[in-house]
């Protein structure tokens, strides 16, 4: 019998009691002043109740394998079942068992959710997990015991922590609208960078082309097409391009991302009417979408494959991207980086910069370069 591996793991601060009392007001109201001065002590060691580390059974894993976790916990696989997370609602997760297809409402094991990580939530939609069902529970309930190593993650930074929007996907459908709400190319650029970093194939989908003259979109379509990205012009209302959208998603693990009101749920309803996802019209006052989808949800498609419908994104800050890496995630800037005069060129103010020269000569799109500069200053630094 193989010997279990034991490692020291870091845990969150909420696993132990407070280091100093902070309820002096309540104590005074209940007992009044004491005749004797309170006992004072000095803590000389971090061990004991204040220790944040603990020995657990498992294997350390690389950050690129399981973003944010770093530990592959050892569990009793005889009592657990394998499944996939369909959605996460607060502290509960909907998990579909692989063998039977039954859905369980699962809480997360305390040991797992109190590990000290950079993640906001340890479980995300699309995760492959091992869960332990509760016998005889109605409705079906269980506990998520372990999150399997991930691939193809879409992550963003929220208040200095990592939020995994969806895991284990191989294609990112970036949905934008030609109008109502207005088209935001800079948001598309950010999502393209996130797709490049996460190892996910991106597809740019521009919906609501029935509201504008399609000829106005050709310059933008041409820029992305020249870089090798697939671009689809769609209209969920008229049905234009819906068949192309269905063919792009069939047989793949997809995640559909975009700002509120661009028609993500409407497009999924168009290719699979059985989903019956909730939709709402755009606000007439500010032409902004209403927050209809509240959490990421994974659905099987009748045409084959899966799709994850996500809530509308109002801002997308990249996670774990440093300034030196940004240019490498821009496909159009990448060929010119090695021709710059300085090896550490930021492509913003240096002399002899091949990227700036390419923009001045018209080889690079000026708007894409401005998007790069805005991302470099706003996020990476």
Q: CA torsion angle for 144, 148, 152, 156 (degrees, to 10)? A: 50
222 has pLDDT over 90: yes
Arithmetic mean of pLDDT over the chain? 84
Q: What digits encode the pLDDT tens for the residues 279-307?
A: 877 665 555 556 667 788 999 999 889 99
Indicate the pTM of the whole model: 0.82
Residue ranges making up the domain that contains 281: 169-309
Query: How far is Cα 279 from Cα 286, in angstroms, rounded to an integer?
Result: 18
Least confident piece of the model among 7-11, 249-253, 254-258, 308-312: 7-11
Residue 219, classed as helix, strand or coil, is helix
11 has pLDDT over 80: no
> Does 41 fall in a domain?
no
| CATH at 106 | 2.40.50.140
The DSSP letter of residue 258 is -
Q: DSSP labels for 68-98?
A: TT-EEE---TTS-EEEEEEEEETTEEEEEET
> What are the tokens at 130?
């091992």
Name the residue with higher pLDDT: 60 or 318: 318
Residues 300 and 173 in one domain: yes
The average pLDDT across 198-227 equals: 94
Q: What digits encode the pLDDT tens for the residues 80-107?
A: 999 999 999 888 899 999 999 999 999 9
Residues 118 and 209 in one domain: no
> Does 180 fall in a domain?
yes
CA distances (Å), 158 to each of 197, 206, 359, in order?
17, 26, 33
Residues 258 and 371 in one domain: no
Residues 79 and 104 in one domain: yes
Q: What digits encode the pLDDT tens for the residues 244-267?
A: 999 999 999 999 999 988 999 999
């Amino acid at each position: 019998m193989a010997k279990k591996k034991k490692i020291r793991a870091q845990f969150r601060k909420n696993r132990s009691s407070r280091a100093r009392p902070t309820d002096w007001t309540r104590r005074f109201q209940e007992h009044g002043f004491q005749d004797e001065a309170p006992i004072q002590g000095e803590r000389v060691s971090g061990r004991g109740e204040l220790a944040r580390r603990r020995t657990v059974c498992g294997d350390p894993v690389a950050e690129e394998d399981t973003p944010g976790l770093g530990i592959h916990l050892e569990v009793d696989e005889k009592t657990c079942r394998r499944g996939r997370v369909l959605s996460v609602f607060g502290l509960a997760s909907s998990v579909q068992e692989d063998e039977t297809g039954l859905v369980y409402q699962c809480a997360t094991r305390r040991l797992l959710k109190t590990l000290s990580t950079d993640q906001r939530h340890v479980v995300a939609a699309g995760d492959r997990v091992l869960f332990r069902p509760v016998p005889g529970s109605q409705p079906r309930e269980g506990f998520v015991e372990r999150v399997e190593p991930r691939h193809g993650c879409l992550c963003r930074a929220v208040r200095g922590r990592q939020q995994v929007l969806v895991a284990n996907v191989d294609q990112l459908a970036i949905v934008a609208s030609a109008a109502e709400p207005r088209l935001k190319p800079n948001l598309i650029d950010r999502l393209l960078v996130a797709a490049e970093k996460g190892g996910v194939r991106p597809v740019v989908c521009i919906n609501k082309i029935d509201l504008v003259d399609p000829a106005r979109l050709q310059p933008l379509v041409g820029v992305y097409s020249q870089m090798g990205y697939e671009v689809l012009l769609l209209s969920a209302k008229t049905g234009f391009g819906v068949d192309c959208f269905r063919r792009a998603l069939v047989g793949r693990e997809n995640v559909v991302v975009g700002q509120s009101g661009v028609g993500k749920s409407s497009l999924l309803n168009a290719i699979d009417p059985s989903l019956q996802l909730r939709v709402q019209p755009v606000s007439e006052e500010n032409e902004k979408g209403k927050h209809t989808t509240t959490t990421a949800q994974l659905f099987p498609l009748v045409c084959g494959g899966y799709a994850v419908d996500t809530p509308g994104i109002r801002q997308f800050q990249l996670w774990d991207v440093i300034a030196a890496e940004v240019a490498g995630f821009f496909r159009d800037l990448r060929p010119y980086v090695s021709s710059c005069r300085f090896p550490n060129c930021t492509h913003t103010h240096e002399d002899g910069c091949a990227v700036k020269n390419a923009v001045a000569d018209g080889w690079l799109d000026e708007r894409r370069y401005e998007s790069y500069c805005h991302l470099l200053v706003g996020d990476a630094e």
